């Protein structure tokens, strides 16, 4: 588990492009007739340019230290049509937290969108209960339906409803923070939970604690156990306890570990436990997420078991969730009255005044006196930037990222500054540069950011409860299989040691169970008998870099049919016996197709698989 300070964040983030007289890295695009390009390129090289892209009707070149007007003057040639800045382009975040300060309004964490939890409704009457084995759930946070929450104490850890550090409260919020217009929202909002406090502020327990906790979870009527914890070495008693829970129909999830290596951690490494890795908001694997092999033993005794390695991942980087009261730090920022994203760096307090741009703030500047310093990231430490602002008489500091996304940082362990300092997103630089006044505030919060497979694990536990509440007739193992069958492939094509089957998608998993039944395999959700005569063939091909699948079927009796891809309905179309599916995702992948009579989840073809 890795701790970050909260981006308490009042956000109105715009995707704005910077307009500059000098290009990024002094790099420019020169438009020229192809027939004269050689002459102009030779001129550019003679003038000291470094040539880059050679395109149709243009080339790119770097003129170190020269702005646009200087380059235009140097390239005063009749063959040149245009000289312009070669602007940098950055990958944009795929998923983001909602705008807002969770102390004032409800904020949806990015992983909710990434996992499709917002596309499915939790059924509170389905009897789901998640058992959270952790450091307690602090009753000071009101973002829970406390009437749905019970708990047990382990020996020596104190009351389960008082925190033994923020970890357990953060985990519980990801699972089940309620939908109540304040704070955050969990994967299964308001799901009943049973809290077992096995950790305190010392932060460790024993295998025997976990084995005993598994029995307490069973006695409390839990369907799912969440363990955002782990350690080295297996233990027979512990393993048996979780296997018994699984055999009774439950589901156990545990964190893969945060050391970024291939070591197998326990209890996640037991076959009865679903091992969870962490990805970020851009569908990339977290650098700390452990990735043990699925193989155990050596030589002729080596065996392969997908249940002893990462099976799926979920968002676990900079995860926003609940904290015990006032244990997190948040920030807010406005410029000319408009709210912008910010991240608290250091020093509680408020600063309001005129904005002054200090560049990279590598020296003091008397013009910053009495003002809020706007500072670019780069060249010197954050601490020294803020120190120079304060030494200049500045009353607050905003440091803007120099790459896409929010700037998260601190002023170091030896911070000697006292003015409030916040980070800002690169995308907001243009608007901030144009503003005349700013207000920044840093204070305590009941909501904070953490990173780790400890954060991804409760996401999967909550998602499992969400999906299972819509299919209560299924077992935990069947929910486990559905989550894997419909996970979005990420990283290397197909199953791999980092992502397992991929990133969990709740709505797709629910649709898969609707179409195929708890046991999967196209039997539907009825009595398990598929009596339809629908027959399907699927043929995949690529054309100009795009992937297509031609589907042909017969035997459906309705005027229209529903077509499913990887368990999720993609279209309702005329029953004309053919359809072509276009897949927008680049690269390889495995796709399972079914055709069902419209409105039916039983009258379906067998699944046909296409691999690219």
Determine the Cα angle at 429 with ends 436 and 14, to 5°: 105
Cα–Cα distance, 258 to 97 (Å, whole number)? 23
Cα–Cα distance, 119 to 135 (Å, whole number)? 31
* Burial group, residue 63, by CB count within 10 angstroms (0-12, 13-18, 19+): buried
pLDDT at 91 over 70: no
Catalytic residue among 26, 135, 167, 228: 167
What's the rounded mean pLDDT across residues 226-234?
92
User: Percentage of the chain with pLDDT > 70?
Assistant: 91
Catalytic residue among 26, 86, 97, 134: 134
pLDDT at 570 over 70: yes
Q: Residue 594 forms beta bridges with which residues?
A: 564
Residue with tokens 């536990």: 461
- Cis before residue 267, ω within 30 degrees of 0? yes
User: Percentage of the chain with pLDDT > 90?
Assistant: 61
- Give the E-state strand segments of 216-255 in sequence order: 224-227, 251-255
Query: Which tens digits make up the pLDDT trace of 335-350?
Result: 999 988 888 898 989 9
**Worst-scoring range by mean pLDDT, 7-21, 113-127, 400-414?**
7-21
Query: Which tens digits make up the pLDDT trace of 444-469?
Result: 899 988 999 999 999 999 999 999 99
Per-residue confidence (pLDDT) for residue 25, from 0 to 100: 66
Per-residue confidence (pLDDT) for residue 22, from 0 to 100: 44
CA distances from 38 to 33, 79, 86, 607 (A): 10, 11, 20, 57
* 597: three-class secondary structure by DSSP: strand
Q: Record the tokens describing residue 253, joined without a space.
A: 């999830």
DSSP string of 471-530?
Answer: -TTS-HHHHHHHHHHTPBP-SSSSSBTTTBT-B--HHHHHHHHHHH-TT-TT--SSSS--
- Is 454 a catalytic site residue? yes
Query: Rounded to 5 degrees, what are φ and ψ at 578?
Result: -155, 150
Per-residue confidence (pLDDT) for residue 539, from 0 to 100: 85
Q: Record the tokens describing residue 369, joined without a space.
A: 């006196």
Query: Which tens digits make up the pLDDT trace of 302-336?
Result: 777 889 999 999 999 989 999 999 888 888 899 99
* Burial group, residue 163, by CB count within 10 angstroms (0-12, 13-18, 19+): buried
Catalytic residue among 135, 441, 454, 568: 454
pLDDT at 528 over 50: no
- Is 418 a catalytic site residue? no
Confidence tier at 18 by pLDDT (50, 70, 90): very low
DSSP annotation of 330? E
DSSP string of 49-111?
Answer: PEEEEEETTEEEEE-TT--HHHHHHHT--TTEEEEEE-----PPPSS-PPSS-TTTSEE--HH
CA distances from 433 to 354, 370, 441, 466, 576 (A): 12, 18, 19, 44, 58
Q: How many CB atoms lie within 10 A of CB 362?
A: 14
Query: Rounded to 5 degrees, what are φ and ψ at 511?
Result: -65, -35
Sign of CA dihedral 323, 325, 329, 333: positive
Cα–Cα distance, 319 to 241 (Å, whole number)? 30
Per-residue confidence (pLDDT) for residue 93, from 0 to 100: 56
* Burial group, residue 58, by CB count within 10 angstroms (0-12, 13-18, 19+): middle
Q: How many CB atoms lie within 10 A of CB 576?
A: 10
Determine the Cα angle at 209 with ends 208 and 214, to 5°: 95
pLDDT at 248 over 70: yes
């Amino acid at each position: 588990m890795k701790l970050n300070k909260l981006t308490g964040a009042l956000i109105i983030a715009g995707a704005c492009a910077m307009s500059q007289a000098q290009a990024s890295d002094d790099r420019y695009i020169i438009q020229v007739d192809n027939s004269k390009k050689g002459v102009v390129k030779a001129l550019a090289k003679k003038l000291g340019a470094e040539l880059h892209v050679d395109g149709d009707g243009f080339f790119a070149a770097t003129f170190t230290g020269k702005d646009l007007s200087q380059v235009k003057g140097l390239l005063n040639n009749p063959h040149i049509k245009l000289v312009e800045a070669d602007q940098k382009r950055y990958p944009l975040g795929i998923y983001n937290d909602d705008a807002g300060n969770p102390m004032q309004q409800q904020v949806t964490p990015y992983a909710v969108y990434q996992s499709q939890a917002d596309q499915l409704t939790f059924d509170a009457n389905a009897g789901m209960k998640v058992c959270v084995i952790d450091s307690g759930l602090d009753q000071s946070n009101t973002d829970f339906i406390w009437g749905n929450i019970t708990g047990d104490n382990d020996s020596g850890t104190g009351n389960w409803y008082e925190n033994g550090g923020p970890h357990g409260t953060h985990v519980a919020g990801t699972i089940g923070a309620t939908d109540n217009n304040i704070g955050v929202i969990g994967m299964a909002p308001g799901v009943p939970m049973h809290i077992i406090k096995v950790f305190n502020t010392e932060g460790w327990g024993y295998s025997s604690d976990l084995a005993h906790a598994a029995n307490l979870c069973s006695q409390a009527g839990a369907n799912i156990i969440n363990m955002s914890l782990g350690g080295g070495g297996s233990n027979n008693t512990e393993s048996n306890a979780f296997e018994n829970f699984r055999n009774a129909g439950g589901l156990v999830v545990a964190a893969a570990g945060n050391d970024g290596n291939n070591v197998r951690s326990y209890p996640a490494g037991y076959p009865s436990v679903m091992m969870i890795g962490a990805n970020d908001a851009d569908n990339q694997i977290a650098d700390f997420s452990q990735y043990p092999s699925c193989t155990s033993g050596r030589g002729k005794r080596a065996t392969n078991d997908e249940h002893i390695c990462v099976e799926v991942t979920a968002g676990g980087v900079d995860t926003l969730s609940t904290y015990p009261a006032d244990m997190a730090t948040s920030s807010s920022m406005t410029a000319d009255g408009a709210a912008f994203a910010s991240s608290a760096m250091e020093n509680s307090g408020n600063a309001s005044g005129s904005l002054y741009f200090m560049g990279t703030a590598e020296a003091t500047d008397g013009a910053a006196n009495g003002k809020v310093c706007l500072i670019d990231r780069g060249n010197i430490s954050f601490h020294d930037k803020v120190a120079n602002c304060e030494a200049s008489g500045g009353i607050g500091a905003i440091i803007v990222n120099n790459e896409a996304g929010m700037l998260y940082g601190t002023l170091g362990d030896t911070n000697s500054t006292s003015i409030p300092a916040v980070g800002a997103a690169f995308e907001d630089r243009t608007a901030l540069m144009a503003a005349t006044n700013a207000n920044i505030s840093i204070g305590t919060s009941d909501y904070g950011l953490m990173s780790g497979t400890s954060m991804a694990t409760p996401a999967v536990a909550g998602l499992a409860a969400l999906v299972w509440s819509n299919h209560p007739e299924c077992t935990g193992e069947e929910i486990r299989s559905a989550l894997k069958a419909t996970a979005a492939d990420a990283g290397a094509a197909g199953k791999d040691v980092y992502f397992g089957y991929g990133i969990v998608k709740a709505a797709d998993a629910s649709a898969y169970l609707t179409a195929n039944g708890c046991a999967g395999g196209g039997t539907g959700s009825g009595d398990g008998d598929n009596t339809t005569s629908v027959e399907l063939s699927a043929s995949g091909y690529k054309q100009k870099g795009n992937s297509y699948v031609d589907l042909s079927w017969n035997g459906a009796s309705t005027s229209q049919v529903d077509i499913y891809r990887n368990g999720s309905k993609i279209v309702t179309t005329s029953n004309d016996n053919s359809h072509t599916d276009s897949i927008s995702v680049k690269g390889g992948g495995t796709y399972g197709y079914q055709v069902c009579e419209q409105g039916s989840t039983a009258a379906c073809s067998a699944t046909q698989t296409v691999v690219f």
